[in-house]
Amino acid sequence: MFASMPLERRFLLALPWLLLCTARAGDTAPLAIKGYDPVAYFTDGKPTLGLASIEHEWDGRIYRFASAEHRDRFKADPARYAPQFGNFCAMALSMGQVVVADPENWLVSDGKLYVFGKPAPAGPALFQKDLAGNIAKANQSRAILPKQ
C-alpha cells in the first residue's frame, strides 16, 4: 500500500520519522576525558585510550574503556573511577579557572582521579603541594564549570 502512494505523500508520511532520527543523532553525550579509560589509571597505573566499541554513558558523558572488564567495574561504581572534576583541570579549577584537561597529565590520590591541563611541575605536582587545600578550592569553584 505504501509503495502505491504518490512519492510526495510517502515523503510527508516519512518526514516525522526522519526528523526524529535526525534530532536523536545530535543528542549524543560528550566524550569524557577525551576517550581515555578512567579505570586504567587505577588498574594499569597509566593513561590508556578506550575503545569506541566499549562505552558506557554516565552523568551526561560517554566513557570509553580498554576492556569490557573495565567498563563493568566502572558501571558498578562510577563515582569511584570518574575524574573528580570531569574533563577539567583540577589545578586550574582550584585557582578559579576553567581549563580543559589533558588526560595524559593525571594523579590518583586517596582513591580519587584528578586530571590536569599541564604536566609537572604545573598540574599534578603543584596540586599535590597542598592537596587538601587545592581540593577544597576546586570544589568551591565547581559552579564555574560549564553545564553539559
**Upper half-sphere CA count for residue 131 (Cβ side, 13 Å):** 10
For residue 106, the enclosing domain spans 83-142
Domain identity same for 69 and 116: no
Rg of the chain over Cα atoms, rounded to whole angstroms, equals: 21
How far is 98 from 93, CA to CA, in rounded Å?
6
Which carries the bigger pLDDT value, residue 11 or residue 48? 48
- Sort 55 into a burial class: Cβ within 10 Å, 0-12 / 13-18 / 19+: middle
* Section 23-30 average pLDDT: 64
Q: Where are the beta strands (DSSP E) in 5-67?
A: 51-58, 61-65
Number of domains observed in the structure of the chain: 2
Take residue 121 and report the three cell numbers written for it: 611541575
Q: How far apart are CA 69 and CA 148, in angstroms?
A: 27
- Residue 121: which pLDDT band, with cuts at 50, 70 and 90? confident
Same-domain status, 67 and 112: no
Whether residues 88 and 136 share a domain: the answer is: yes
Decide if 96 contacts 85 (C-beta within 8 A).
no
18 lies in a domain?
Answer: no
For 41-93, how does the pLDDT look when each residue is reduced to its tens digit (9 = 90+)? 999 999 999 999 999 999 999 999 999 999 999 999 999 999 999 999 999 99
> Which residues sit opposite 63 in a β-bridge?
56
Say whether pTM exceeds 0.75: yes
